[in-house]
Amino acid sequence: MNGIGIIAGLVLGKPLGVTLLCFAGVASGLCHLSPDLKWRHIFGAGILGGIGFTMSIFITNLAFAGNLPAINAPKMAILLASLNAGVLGCLWLRKLCKPDQ
């Protein structure tokens, strides 16, 4: 069951968080989007942000030190989520963010 939370956090939470925080920055006037940069590009970068498995595995090892079964299941979920984020991000950017759009 813990694996579902990990996968949802990396595959769904990262893109939403990146996009919403970028939107907040633009809406507040702290920054602006370049003319050739669209929100779909920001969302695609957020999807690719889900490939952050190094720190996730490090935290898992710290949280469950000495308990190998409790470490292996989250590691597998982290690796699967990172793979999904990489594939989805690549597909998103290739299909929806062509240079001529």
pLDDT of residue 100: 60
Averaged confidence pLDDT in the chain: 90
The alpha-carbon radius of gyration of the chain (Å, integer) is 16
pLDDT of residue 19: 96
Question: What dihedral angle (degrees, nearest 10) is formed by the CA atoms of 30, 14, 16, 20?
Answer: -10
Asked whether residue 29 carries a pLDDT value surpassing 80, the answer given is yes
Q: What is the pTM of this model?
A: 0.84
The pLDDT-based confidence of 101 (bands split at 50, 70, 90) is low
Asked whether residue 53 carries a pLDDT value surpassing 70, the answer given is yes
CA distance 91 to 93: 6
